[in-house]
Structure 1
Amino acid sequence: MAWRDAKASTSRLLLFMASIILGIAAVVSIQLFSQNLTDNIQRQSKSLMGADFIIDSDDVPNERAQAIIDSLQPDAKEVTFVSMIAFPKNGGTKLVNVRGLEGKFPFYGTIKTLPANAGDQYQNSGGALVDATLMLQYNIQPGDSIKIGELTLPIAGSLKSIPGSEGISTSVAPPVVIPYEYVEATELLQFGSRKEYQFFFNQPDADLTALEQRVEPQLDVEDADLDTHTSTSRRLGRRYENVGAYLNLAAFIALLLGCVGIASSVNIYIKEKLNAVAVLKCMGASRKQSFLIYLIQIAGIGVIGGLIGTAIGVGLQAIFPYLLREFLPFDLEITITAQPLIMGVLLGLFMSVLFALLPLMRTWYVSPLEVLRVTNSSSARSNMARVIIIGLIVLSLYLFSWWLLKDALFALGFVAGVLVTFAILAGIAIGAMRLIKRYFPKRAGFTTRQSLLNLFRPNNQTVVLLVAIGLGTFLVSTLYFTKDILLGKTEIGQASERANIIALDVQPDQLDAVVATFEENGLPVIDNIPLVTMRMHKIKDQLVSELRVDTTRQIRGWILNHEFRTTYRDSLIPSEKIIAGSWTPSQKTGELVQISISDNLAQDANVTIGDRITLNVQGVLMETVVGSIRQVDWANLQINFSIVFPSGILESAPQFNVLTTYAPTEEQSAGFQRDLVRKFPNISIIDLRQVFNVVEDILDKVSWIINFMAFFSILTGIIVLIGSVRTSKYQRIKESVLLRTLGAKNRQILRITALEYLFLGILGSLVGIVLALVSSLLLALFIFKEPFVPSAVPFIVFLPAISILVLIIGLSNIRSVLSSSPLEVLRKAA
């Protein structure tokens, strides 16, 4: 019976199936990708690091730290720093990441070079390995020379890849590898220079867990860190968690939309089958038999939809490595495992049956008297069954979203939001029907009155269609608004007259000569910022050394180990705003120093206005008190600081300067950089044009991925919409036939249908977008903690597009009525 009935309703059942296919495809493809990413990270973690474990320090390790390092017997070491380099061949200059290496690093993975043997011979030959892309840009060949500070070396080969250098960072500062013994000759490691010392260990049999527990706390006290290949694997996994969370959220929304489509379509489908069920019961069919006929149909649809969706998900798997290759520090190897495939098929079956249960239960409680239309009431048991099924749906949604999003609280909030939205949409639909019924325009024309009557007549589909349209619009619009928040969070703006060149590490004795060089090149000095380095010594009467070993502390670990670069000035800059306390512009020596700290530092250090902090300013302890807390716009490419002193306190402290300027053309920028590097090799220059280009390229790729997943959900929503509206086709056909039999013209029927569906489309999509606006505002404030500037796209594009789509689908429902005679249609229905 299930098979026979399904053959007569093939087109409608195919629409049910289409609702679930894309949702399953999204879930399967993302689950497969996440599994492959995790497996690849775990498998390649040693090759990414190049060693079993590393000990690193931001400065030359102190005596105690060096003793710990020596006791573990390092197999290689490295010092890394950022500097400007020059190519004497053509005068080109570039900011690079210099890596001075000693030993046979890497122990896992390889240094890929051209010629191939350059990575093995550069330390013995005394040459440099230069990033391959950089050599192409400056037309440099192996054998040419490179000038690093006061040192000139031959180029031994072009560097294609080396463990420890990742794609995005190397776009701004490409790697240059030189022998460790030549670092001192560069004369670049001066006061204030950013540098990192690393010691590499080749000990495959070491107990890394025990090492982390025993050695890491000791190194932490000495301002050094232990990093194992297993911790690198975990860190890389966390780095891609945000991407995975967003993709999972998009997949869940696509699947949820499919489930909404199934629920609304099956509701209309079963409502039309109730008379047939009543006839079956009159002929002796049991409740179980009549229920199973349609349950088997829905289960079959779920299995077939799950199979097709799983196949599409496997096919999409090949796209993700291409989309994300710029963000991954390795080539992603794709393997297809059985678990996501089995999950896709079972998910199709489970979700189809689960969301169809509520309308299916109506077949269980249909009375044979329905044939005679004697009764239209449901029993108390029907209401109890409805409550149980709704509870099962909510519980299943929560458990599934928890499994996908990996966060119980976020999953609870998301499901609660969907349920509240569902309730609001249903309430608005019911309220709209009552308002129209109460304030019915009796003097309006026949077509207007008839279209409004259709919204609250018996067996109307107003609530079902409004909920389907509104919820679909809500989910898709929320995804779109969330995309704007994510992209806005990393958006970069570049004002035409803002500084686009930054000169770092300018020593006090060089300052006047550097300023003169700016003037010789016709460039103004926009900012001249003094920098003083210091560390935390005591926070609220607690020594930092004691806090490091205190497991109950409420202070973030980075505060205790960080070397702060601070400045002093008498005014705020545009990227800052005082949110607590008062700004102190200047003070005299001998007074208790009123410092201003950023809001994130106040939160992580658990301090507020009036709390005392003792700072170690290069060996001199300075007592300070938090006088003000600033909100800092870190996304703004200005030079911002966590700690700012008033003027009059740090002027005599050891310091160096950062200067900024604006170069209107690339030619002027390049000429200035060559002149400055030639005169002052220790100064590093950041050309923000290159940074803008790199970041904009990355954001373009991120935007493409987010739009791709949003398109997935939008496409699913359109299919759900088509299914929901098309399934009401057969109810509309009967009404339109009766109207034509009574003498209604085609034009009148078209207007009646058009007005009804236009009302449903506008109201449903408008409410969905408004609810999405509210939910996105809450996400921006409480989850992303970012200002929310809503996009007009959902109102300008989604609202009219969805309304027109609903109208077109609705009008297509009665096409056969308009092209046939009433008698012919009635005979077909019979």
Structure 2
Amino acid sequence: MAWRDGKASISRLLLFMASIILGIAAVVSIQLFSQNLKQNIKNQSKALMGADFIIDSRQLPSSKVQAIIDSLNVAASEVNFVSMAAFPKNEGTKLVKVRAIEGNFPFYGSLDTEPVSAAQNYQELGGALVDATLMLQYNLIPGDSIKLGKLTFPILGALKSVPGSTAIAASAAPPVLIPFRFIAATELLQLGSRIEYQYFFVAPETMDLEALDKKIDPILDDENADLDTHTSTSQRLGRRYDNVGKFLNLAAFIALLLGCVGIASSVHIYIKEKLKNVAVLKCVGATRKQSFFIYLIQIAGIGLIGGIVGSVIGIGLQYAFPYVLQGFLPFDVQISISAQPLVIGVTLGVLMAVLFALLPLLGTWYVSPLEVLRGTEENLEKPRKARLVTLAAILLFIFLFSFWLLKDALFGLLFTVGILVTFSIMAGIASLCMQLIKKYFPTNWGFTERQSLLNLFRPNNQTMVLILAIGLGTFLISTLYFTKDILLAKATIENNSKNANIILMDVQNQQKEAVVNAIQPKGLEVIDNIPIVTMRIHQIKDRLVNDIRKDTTSKMNRWILNHEFRVTYRDSLLDSEELLSGTWTSEIIQGEPIKVSISDNIAEDANLTIGDQVIFNVQGVLMETVVGSIRKVDWGRMQLNFSVVFPKGILENAPQFNVLTTHVPNEAVSADLQRDLVQKFPNISVLDLRQVYTIIEDILSKISWIINFMAFFSILTGIIVLIGSVRNSKYQRIKESVLLRTLGAKSKQIIRITALEYIYLGLLGSLVGILLSLISSQLLAVFLFKEPFIPSVIPFLVFLPGITLLVLLIGFSNIRSVLKSPPLEVLRKEV
């Protein structure tokens, strides 16, 4: 019976199925890709690192660290730092990451070079391997040269990939590999240079890396060094991409929820029209269970087929993700198919179809044959307990699914509450609008205008369902659009002469005046001349840092204890800083303690308040200070910010280096300045913020593409839900329209009634969605991005009329047959 009845309604059931297919396709594709990503990270963990484990340090290893390195039989070593490179062939310059390697690194994976032989002989021949993209940008080929500091190296090959480098990092500072033995002759290692020393090891098969990490890492931490194993690195990498997966899963889940709305609304209309059939079945002897299961089997079958089809589409879609995310991944993802996401997809298809169809299906269980045959619905038994149980099951489903995605019960609960609140607000607005129309009905309007309003609260109206479907779709796309605007605004660099876009790093004291004299003749202004002194914390309050490190019960953040701070001194706050507490001290006062200003994150991590004592080790000299003020720092600004700031009059004679900034109007001036500085001062690194902005913009565009890609599923699902909801009310509309034509209504009047009704629904639903998205975007801006939110007018100018027009077109498609054929022919055809 379920099969026979379903065949007669196949065109309508296909719309139910489409809602399920899109949501399942999104979930399955993302689940499969997430599994493949985790498996690839696990399989390639050694190749990503190039060794079994690494010991690294930001300073020359102490005697204790060196003894540990020697005892573990170091297999290769590296010194890496950021520096400027010059290309004599075309006088080009570029900020690069120099990696000076000693030994046969890597031990797993390989150096991918062109020609292939360059990876094996660059150490012996004393040449350089240069990032392949960089060589294309500067029109370089093997045989050309690259100048690093005082030395010029022949370029032996293009470096396509190297362990320990990601596409994003390489775009900011492309890697250049040289033999370790030449590093001293370059004279690039100066005071203030950000140097990293790395030592690579190959572990015997019997070595327990986890046990080694637990034993050695605490000792190294005390000596400002660190141990990383390939397993721990892959776990961190996995967690990093887990966040990407969680976001994509949430976007897919929203598409799934929209599909659920489509199922509930479509089945509601479908079952209402089947109630007379159910009544007839009961009159001829069918039991409640039989009539209920006829339609339950139909819905479950739709869910099963939708789950299978959605899973198959999801398998195909997952092949697109590696191309979308390739800029974020340090390896190529090998795609394989596993059974778990497919089982989840099919199970979800059946579960969501049945669960969200239960509310309307309950009508078949409690319906009274006589009352339905008489055509009345007012006295139908209300299965309140069953409905409450079903609603509880739906909320439990949403919570469990979001908990499974987010791996956090609190976040799952908040997400479920957020969905419930959004649904409730939209449902409340729809209900309020119907009540207001009833109460303040404009009786003096014309016939067509009155009839279009009456349709919003007539029997079998779809006002609630359509506003939910339209509103949720609009809410999602508008929120994504506003979020994108917030992210782009956060990374925007204002292009005016007051904002520095060139930063000169590692300027030594004896070079400062000469560098200024090189900048000013080009018509450029030195905006900032910032002195920087390196130091570490020796004592916090009454406890030595070494004692805190050894205290296993201490909850103080470990980075505070091991970090080498780069601090400055000045007499005023910056625009990016806000004084939270204490008093700003501009200059040291003789006879009083040295009052420093610290950032709020330092105060929180070190548990410091105003008046607490902090003793710094300034390159061997102990300096007693007290916390004079605490600042909130906007670290998102494209400028130099500092955790610790000293007053003037105390650090001027300490060993220091400088950072100078200027503003260049265009690329040509920037290139000329960089060429001149690299030739005269090879140790200085030049950071062009315009290039950094381009990289950030590229990353954001990829993120935006992913957001829009996932939003497509939600939007398409919303459209399918909209089509299904409107199309399935077609049969009720046809009878009404035919009746109007029989009574003498003209086609123009019917078109006008339909147009006005759908315009009301489209405008109301999309307007509510956009207004709610403004609230959610404001909350995101304040609590997550901590940025001012300036709403765009695009959603109001594009989404509002666009979605309203879509609703109108679907509505017109419903009454086409009424307008083209005689009333009797239409009624016979529909029957």
* In 2: Cα distance, 1:666 partner to 1:453 partner: 64
Q: Residue 546 of structure 2: SS of its match in structure 1?
A: helix
Q: For residue 715 of structure 2, what is the aligned residue in structure 1?
A: 714
Alignment of 1:414-493 (within 5 A): 414-493=415-494
Contact 1:52 1:204 in 2 (8 A): no
Deviation at 1:657, TM superposition (A): 0.5
**Which moves more between the two structures, 581-590 or 739-748?**
581-590
* In 2: Cα distance, 1:149 partner to 1:718 partner: 60
Deviation at 1:396, TM superposition (A): 0.8
* In 2: Cα distance, 1:704 partner to 1:600 partner: 33
* In 1: Cα distance, 2:759 partner to 2:542 partner: 69
Deviation at 1:39, TM superposition (A): 0.8
Residue 223 in structure 1 maps to residue 215 in structure 2: no
Question: What CA deviation, in whole Å up to 9, does each residue of 1:289-308 have, x standing for no partner?
Answer: 11111111111111111122
**Which moves more between the two structures, 308-317 or 497-506?**
497-506
Deviation at 1:486, TM superposition (A): 4.5
* In 1: Cα distance, 2:788 partner to 2:541 partner: 32
Q: For residue 672 of structure 1, what is the aligned residue in structure 2?
A: 673
Deviation at 1:499, TM superposition (A): 2.2
Q: For residue 270 of structure 1, what is the aligned residue in structure 2?
A: 271
Change in CA separation of 1:753 and 1:610 when aligned onto 2, cut-off 3 Å: farther
* In 2: Cα distance, 1:526 partner to 1:215 partner: 46
Q: Which runs of 5+ in 2 are unaligned?
A: none
Change in CA separation of 1:542 and 1:358 when aligned onto 2, cut-off 3 Å: farther
Deviation at 1:802, TM superposition (A): 1.9
Q: For residue 503 of structure 2, what is the aligned residue in structure 1?
A: 502
Alignment of 1:636-651 (within 5 A): 636-651=637-652
Residue 167 in structure 1 maps to residue 150 in structure 2: no
Letter in 2 for 1:676: L
* In 1: Cα distance, 2:694 partner to 2:480 partner: 27
Change in CA separation of 1:34 and 1:483 when aligned onto 2, cut-off 3 Å: farther
* In 1: Cα distance, 2:176 partner to 2:295 partner: 69
Contact 2:434 2:456 in 1 (8 A): yes
**Which moves more between the two structures, 139-148 or 121-130?**
139-148
**Which moves more between the two structures, 493-502 or 734-743?**
493-502
**Which moves more between the two structures, 757-766 or 251-260?**
757-766
Aligned length: 829
Residue 616 in structure 1 maps to residue 594 in structure 2: no
* In 1: Cα distance, 2:576 partner to 2:126 partner: 46
**Which moves more between the two structures, 499-508 or 120-129?**
120-129
Deviation at 1:672, TM superposition (A): 2.4
Deviation at 1:555, TM superposition (A): 2.9
Q: For residue 378 of structure 2, what is the aligned residue in structure 1?
A: 376
Letter in 2 for 1:454: N
Deviation at 1:663, TM superposition (A): 2.6
Q: For residue 630 of structure 2, what is the aligned residue in structure 1?
A: 629
Deviation at 1:679, TM superposition (A): 2.0
Letter in 1 for 2:378: N
Question: What CA deviation, in whole Å up to 9, does each residue of 1:626-646 have, x standing for no partner?
Answer: 333323222221111121222
Question: What CA deviation, in whole Å up to 9, does each residue of 1:129-157 have, x standing for no partner?
Answer: 22233333334443444332223333333
Q: Residue 526 of structure 1: SS of its match in structure 2?
A: strand
Question: What CA deviation, in whole Å up to 9, does each residue of 1:655-701 have, x standing for no partner?
Answer: 11111122334333323222222222221222223222322222222
Deviation at 1:519, TM superposition (A): 2.7
Contact 1:129 1:155 in 2 (8 A): yes
Letter in 2 for 1:229: H
Question: What CA deviation, in whole Å up to 9, does each residue of 1:167-203 have, x standing for no partner?
Answer: 1112222222222222112222122111011111011
Q: For residue 772 of structure 1, what is the aligned residue in structure 2?
A: 773
* In 1: Cα distance, 2:666 partner to 2:815 partner: 64
Contact 1:250 1:479 in 2 (8 A): no
Deviation at 1:275, TM superposition (A): 1.4
Q: Residue 538 of structure 2: SS of its match in structure 1?
A: strand
Contact 1:264 1:468 in 2 (8 A): no
Q: Residue 336 of structure 2: SS of its match in structure 1?
A: coil
* In 1: Cα distance, 2:301 partner to 2:380 partner: 28
Q: For residue 131 of structure 1, what is the aligned residue in structure 2?
A: 131
Q: For residue 157 of structure 1, what is the aligned residue in structure 2?
A: 157
Letter in 2 for 1:441: P
TM-score by length of 1: 0.96
Deviation at 1:90, TM superposition (A): 4.0
Change in CA separation of 1:550 and 1:480 when aligned onto 2, cut-off 3 Å: farther
* In 2: Cα distance, 1:787 partner to 1:737 partner: 55
Q: Residue 100 of structure 2: SS of its match in structure 1?
A: strand
TM-score by length of 2: 0.96
**Which moves more between the two structures, 698-707 or 328-337?**
698-707
Contact 2:367 2:381 in 1 (8 A): no
Deviation at 1:487, TM superposition (A): 4.5
**Which moves more between the two structures, 539-548 or 283-292?**
539-548
Question: What CA deviation, in whole Å up to 9, does each residue of 1:258-304 have, x standing for no partner?
Answer: 11111111111111111111111111111111111111111111111
Q: For residue 110 of structure 1, what is the aligned residue in structure 2?
A: 110
Residue 743 in structure 1 maps to residue 775 in structure 2: no
**Which moves more between the two structures, 655-664 or 604-613?**
604-613
* In 2: Cα distance, 1:45 partner to 1:95 partner: 28
Letter in 2 for 1:114: E
Letter in 1 for 2:341: P
Alignment of 1:471-620 (within 5 A): 471-495=472-496, 498-620=499-621
Question: What CA deviation, in whole Å up to 9, does each residue of 1:10-48 have, x standing for no partner?
Answer: 221111111111111111111111111111111111111
Deviation at 1:612, TM superposition (A): 3.0
* In 2: Cα distance, 1:153 partner to 1:487 partner: 40
Letter in 1 for 2:574: I
Q: For residue 201 of structure 1, what is the aligned residue in structure 2?
A: 201
Residue 304 in structure 1 maps to residue 302 in structure 2: no
Deviation at 1:585, TM superposition (A): 1.9
**Which moves more between the two structures, 401-410 or 31-40?**
401-410
Change in CA separation of 1:549 and 1:283 when aligned onto 2, cut-off 3 Å: farther
Letter in 2 for 1:789: I
Q: For residue 791 of structure 1, what is the aligned residue in structure 2?
A: 792
Deviation at 1:496, TM superposition (A): 5.4
Contact 2:51 2:107 in 1 (8 A): yes
Contact 2:129 2:159 in 1 (8 A): yes
Contact 1:554 1:606 in 2 (8 A): no
Q: Residue 661 of structure 2: SS of its match in structure 1?
A: strand
Q: For residue 805 of structure 2, what is the aligned residue in structure 1?
A: 804
**Which moves more between the two structures, 454-463 or 16-25?**
454-463
* In 1: Cα distance, 2:320 partner to 2:684 partner: 43
Question: What CA deviation, in whole Å up to 9, does each residue of 1:352-410 have, x standing for no partner?
Answer: 11110111111011111121246633436x11110111111110111011112333222
Q: Residue 240 of structure 1: SS of its match in structure 2?
A: helix
Change in CA separation of 1:689 and 1:781 when aligned onto 2, cut-off 3 Å: closer
Residue 30 in structure 1 maps to residue 35 in structure 2: no
* In 1: Cα distance, 2:450 partner to 2:78 partner: 82
Letter in 2 for 1:69: I
* In 1: Cα distance, 2:40 partner to 2:493 partner: 32
**Which moves more between the two structures, 137-146 or 355-364?**
137-146
Letter in 2 for 1:678: Q
Question: What CA deviation, in whole Å up to 9, does each residue of 1:608-640 have, x standing for no partner?
Answer: 333332222212222223333323222221111
Contact 1:492 1:635 in 2 (8 A): no
Alignment of 1:305-320 (within 5 A): 305-320=306-321
Residue 60 in structure 1 maps to residue 60 in structure 2: yes
Q: Residue 435 of structure 2: SS of its match in structure 1?
A: helix
Contact 1:52 1:202 in 2 (8 A): yes
Letter in 2 for 1:285: A
Deviation at 1:220, TM superposition (A): 0.6
Deviation at 1:251, TM superposition (A): 0.5
Q: For residue 683 of structure 1, what is the aligned residue in structure 2?
A: 684
Q: Residue 639 of structure 1: SS of its match in structure 2?
A: coil
* In 1: Cα distance, 2:548 partner to 2:425 partner: 50
Deviation at 1:485, TM superposition (A): 4.0
Contact 1:589 1:648 in 2 (8 A): no
* In 1: Cα distance, 2:375 partner to 2:135 partner: 85
* In 1: Cα distance, 2:471 partner to 2:690 partner: 44
Contact 1:476 1:717 in 2 (8 A): no
